[in-house]
Amino acid sequence: MYVWNRLHTTAMVVQECCFLLFSVLVLAETDEADCPSPCSCSDQYGEIVVSCGGQDLARIPEHIPASVTWLDLKYNNITKVTSKSFKDITEVKGINLSHNKIRKISADAFKNLKHLDNLDLSQNLLKTISYDMFKLPIDSAVKEARHFFVDLAMNPWLCDCSLAWLTEMFRNGSHMFSSRFVTCDGPETLKGVDVKDVSLSAFLCPIATIAPTEEKENSTYNSVSAEGRHTTSNFMFLPLVSFAVLIGFLVGALIVRGCTERHCKHRYKRIPNMLPTGPQKDGFV
């Protein structure tokens, strides 16, 4: 009895030791100690993969291991990406945010991610996106001769002046953004049109963006203009053109209206005089 007890205890100690040793090894190797709660973290041949897919997450977990190289957040309920979301994971190469409910991405969201070269934003609720937020990683990827790839498919894009850069990008033969299933959801006239097929002159912004009024402060357009502030300056002339056309139309309407006045009738009367003389003239009188 005593011997059996003794053996049992020894076995348990050995088992516990082994478990501890094993845990320490695993933790050291995969940073599992820092793994945020619903996610799983693993080291796959030197790539630190943090998988948080399909967890009903409403926001991006905090304290993602800084060594992560591939971050999987697909199939969650994430609504926004802030400037803090990815602040510390500077080694990350790929982030999958596909199949979420993202409406807003901070312009600084990817600022520190110098190694990022794969970003999946497909199947979200994005209406607009600023080229500025891609400038840094794209530039560094290009400098390091890496291929940077961003998937923007299946979002309800609002094709106004702040998204014109994207069409320009597609036409430029850039492969940084996939044009597959990148389709306008608005305005109504462009609904269903591939962003790459929108004519650049069709990218209009409402006149309100020239002089935003207080009542428009919460409108979609205003947030668009705020985010698209730094888009290609070429497209800033479009609102001006719209404005000029409107003024032209008003002036035209005034002139036509003015023609019901006496002096206008007088002018019409004089028109036959301007016609060549001959048999035609007889036909008029």
Ligand X SMILES: *[C@@H]1O[C@H](CO)[C@@H](O)[C@H](O)[C@H]1NC(C)=O
Interface residues toward ligand X, by CB under 6 A = 56, 58, 74, 77, 96, 98-99, 118, 120, 165, 168-169, 172, 217-218
| Choice between 9 and 201, CB closer to ligand X | 201
232: exposed, middle or buried (C-beta count within 10 Å: 0-12, 13-18, 19+)?
A: middle
| Choice between 37 and 277, CB closer to ligand X | 37
Least distance between ligand X and beta carbon 218 (Å):
4
Distances (CA, A) of 152 to 92, 104, 128, 230: 19, 13, 10, 20
| Choice between 56 and 188, CB closer to ligand X | 56
Q: Is the peptide bond before 206 cis (omega within 30 degrees of 0)?
A: no
Least distance between ligand X and beta carbon 120 (Å):
4
For 89-118, give one letter per residue: b (16+ CB within 10 A) or e.
Answer: bebbbbbbbbbbebbbbbbbbbbbbbbbbb
| Choice between 34 and 55, CB closer to ligand X | 55
Least distance between ligand X and beta carbon 246 (Å):
25
The continuous run of DSSP H or E covering 105 comes out as strand 104-105
Least distance between ligand X and beta carbon 233 (Å):
11
For 130-140, give one letter per residue: b (16+ CB within 10 A) or e.
Answer: bbbbbebbbeb
Least distance between ligand X and beta carbon 35 (Å):
20
Q: Where are the alpha helices (DSSP H) in 128-236?
A: 132-143, 164-171, 220-227
| Choice between 31 and 72, CB closer to ligand X | 72
Which residue shows structure tokens 């890496």? 146
| Choice between 15 and 172, CB closer to ligand X | 172
Which of 196, 193, 208 lies closest to 164, judged by CA? 196
The continuous run of DSSP H or E covering 201 comes out as none
Cβ proximity of 168 and 152 under 8 Å? no
Least distance between ligand X and beta carbon 172 (Å):
4
